[in-house]
Structure 1
Amino acid sequence: MTDLAYLQPTQRVNVREVFGIDADMTVPAFAERDGHVPELDRAYRFNPQATLAILAGFAHNRRVVLQGLHGTGKSTHIEQVAARLNWPCVRVNLDGHISRLDLVGKDAIVLRDGQQVTEFQEGILPWALQRPMAMVFDEYDAGRPDVMFVIQRVLEREGSFTLLDQKRVIQPHPCFRLFATMNTLGQGNLSGLYHGTQLLNHAQLDRWNLVTSLDYLPPAEEAAIVLARVPALDTEQGRRQVRAMVALASLTRKGFAVGDLSLLMSPRTVITWAENTEIFQNLDVAFHLSFLNKCEPAERGIVAEYFQRCFDAELQAWAEPDMALHHAL
């Protein structure tokens, strides 16, 4: 197998043919599929604006940020573009446990020739920087300040990276690409929805070349994705059911926007509900377990009303599963 560090893009991908976007644009792609390339999801639906921004990132080495509510598929969007370009990709979640040492590297005791010796182990950032790798920082607005300043230098297009402990300057691989996803716009937890997010340094935000937002898909496209994930529902009755599920999810999003609900149904939740419906063979039970039990007790009446409007039936109260459900399990 070819060493990852020596892989180069040798093909050009037509954006109109591969992504279905009306744009006269070609993007470099790799002929070989490395083990770091994400799995291809043929059912994935691309948002044109976000996709063009991501493709510009790959083609022209632009630093790209995707912002949007949870469940809109921000990270998956980048991964699925990379999958179609055969571009190796690695995701790093900037949760509170990711430290500067995790990114940069640290000294570690290793066994060499039967002797314990101390060696410097590279962190994920210098490792990726030296390879044709698309690096995605998830939850970018939740990163610790010390971690964010480590990232700041490599945000420059040709930004080198200095390993102080090694007295070594690393030049980025020509095919290294950098992306990030975040729920807020770097202004902290103004809505109260995303605890743990931080106010981002404006000098750092200014270094991102492209910023785009990703919203929820139109209902018809969202329903098509659910059916692709749960093919057993692709019947006349199942399609009606999925359309009602998506309509209910849309109502929760509107209710959240006006302050009636403190929680909304993301496309991920709708897919989970559909999958759980197949497991439990009961729409109402699956809805309780997938979404309703997450809601505040005072809000469940509103959600039940949404359910009645979309399914023209009352949501059944939680009860002990019947024998048919036991049999299904």
Structure 2
Amino acid sequence: MSDILDLEPSLSVSVRDTFNIDSHLKVPAFSEPCEFVPAVDEAYQFNADVTLAIIAGFAFNRRVMIQGLHGTGKSTHIEQVAARLNWPCVRLNLDGQISRLDLVGKDAIVIRDNQQVTEFQEGIIPWSLRRPVALIFDEYDAGRPDIMFVIQRILERDGKFTLLDQNQVISPNPNFRMFATSNTIGQGNLNGLYHGAQMLNHAQLDRWDIVTSLNYLPHDDEVNIIKARVPEFTDEKLLNAMVSMAQLTRNGFAVGDLSTLMSPRTVISWAENFQIFKDIQTAFRFAFLNKCSDDEKPLVAEYFQRCFDEELEESYMHLSPTSK
């Protein structure tokens, strides 16, 4: 693995030319990709407002948090901006197993000159701070409270990081950048959809310079995404009905009729399942319907009937004897 300590952005690229967004902004970029730069996804659809927020993070060293429902492509959005800037990018999921030692570092036994010696191994935070990388904290609202305070100091743009075990104070690389994604906005699991989401300390939330939301794509854009992801799916009428079905579940979730919804990721799985089973109902059950509670399946089946003019057997679940 090569080191990237000495890399610096040497180009200035136009946001208008690179992202097709009406903006005068220019953003630094690296001339060549390295192993830490994400691969470019030519099919990715950029949201203009969110892209500008991410661009501000890269160009002006702002701390940017993106909030939104699952499957909207929050982390991928940051990675795809980084990919077009050739900016090294490291993504860390703040799941329940991440510890302070993972973030800060720990002593480890290594072999030096055929001898076992104890050596300090940097965690992801000091490693990233020393380098020109964009550090992305995924599922930021799932981080345990005891590790969130480790992150708090570096949220300030000139925030130095103290390694107590090494008696070192690390100053961030001028091209270090920091981003986060979250399903909630610091209020915890209010609607029951995101178990494990924590309430965030508002003193820490206040340190994020830019907070933006990424919602699901417009109908036609989502259709284009799925066509790009599953190119063998050629029935455009069927695909439009699938996306309409997904949007009905999102509307149902928004008004409290459903406790779950179909993300674009689910629609892609549905399209891929259809290529396997050649039956739209079977593919739908495996991709989404079987994840729903029995109480909600009749309503989902009603949505399906509206979009496909086909009845699912779940339409008749939990009906009273007099209504059958």
Query: Same fold by TM-score, threshold 0.5 exceeded?
Result: yes
Deviation at 1:103, TM superposition (A): 0.3
Deviation at 1:76, TM superposition (A): 0.5
Aligned to 1:9: 9
- Alpha-carbon deviations, 1:255-301, whole Å to 9, x = none? 11112111100011011111111122221111110001100012111
Alignment of 1:30-179 (within 5 A): 30-179=30-179
What secondary structure is seen at the aligned counterpart in 1 of 2:118? strand
- Alpha-carbon deviations, 1:18-77, whole Å to 9, x = none? 111111111111111100101110000011111000000000000000001111110010
State the distance in 2 between where 1:39 and 1:2 align: 18
What secondary structure is seen at the aligned counterpart in 2 of 1:211? strand
Deviation at 1:10, TM superposition (A): 0.8
- Alpha-carbon deviations, 1:215-253, whole Å to 9, x = none? 00101100110011111123xxx1111110000000001
State the distance in 1 between where 2:166 and 2:13 align: 39
What secondary structure is seen at the aligned counterpart in 2 of 1:6? coil
Aligned to 2:320: none
State the distance in 2 between where 1:80 and 1:160 align: 28
State the distance in 1 between where 2:41 and 2:312 align: 34
User: Which TM-score applies when normalising by structure 2?
Assistant: 0.95
Aligned to 1:290: 287
Aligned to 1:29: 29
Change (3 A) 1:175 1:294: same
What secondary structure is seen at the aligned counterpart in 2 of 1:169? strand
User: Which TM-score applies when normalising by structure 1?
Assistant: 0.93
Aligned to 2:259: 262
Aligned to 1:249: 246
Aligned to 2:303: 306
What secondary structure is seen at the aligned counterpart in 2 of 1:75? helix
State the distance in 2 between where 1:80 and 1:315 align: 39
**Percent of paired sites with the same residue:** 68
AA of the residue aligned to 1:105: G
State the distance in 2 between where 1:69 and 1:162 align: 35
What secondary structure is seen at the aligned counterpart in 1 of 2:120? strand
State the distance in 2 between where 1:159 and 1:196 align: 28
Deviation at 1:314, TM superposition (A): 2.0
AA of the residue aligned to 1:288: R
AA of the residue aligned to 2:180: A
Aligned to 1:324: none
- Coordinate RMSD, CA, aligned: 1.2
| Unmatched tracts of structure 2, length 5 or more | 315-324
State the distance in 2 between where 1:40 and 1:282 align: 33
Indicate yes or no: 2:215 matched with 1:218.
Answer: no
AA of the residue aligned to 1:212: T
AA of the residue aligned to 1:261: L
State the distance in 2 between where 1:85 and 1:67 align: 23
Aligned to 2:322: none
What secondary structure is seen at the aligned counterpart in 1 of 2:106? strand
State the distance in 1 between where 2:12 and 2:208 align: 25
What secondary structure is seen at the aligned counterpart in 1 of 2:28? strand
Aligned residues of 1:64 and 1:210 also touching (Cα < 8 A): yes
AA of the residue aligned to 2:87: W
Aligned to 2:236: 239
Aligned to 1:327: none
User: What is the total number of aligned residue pairs between the two structures?
Assistant: 314
- Alpha-carbon deviations, 1:75-130, whole Å to 9, x = none? 01000000010001011010111000000000111111121111101001110111
State the distance in 2 between where 1:207 and 1:87 align: 23
| Unmatched tracts of structure 1, length 5 or more | 318-329
Aligned residues of 1:284 and 1:316 also touching (Cα < 8 A): no
Deviation at 1:2, TM superposition (A): 7.2
AA of the residue aligned to 2:92: V
Greater shift, 112-121 or 207-216, is seen at: 112-121
Aligned residues of 1:63 and 1:209 also touching (Cα < 8 A): yes
Aligned to 1:322: none
Deviation at 1:189, TM superposition (A): 1.0
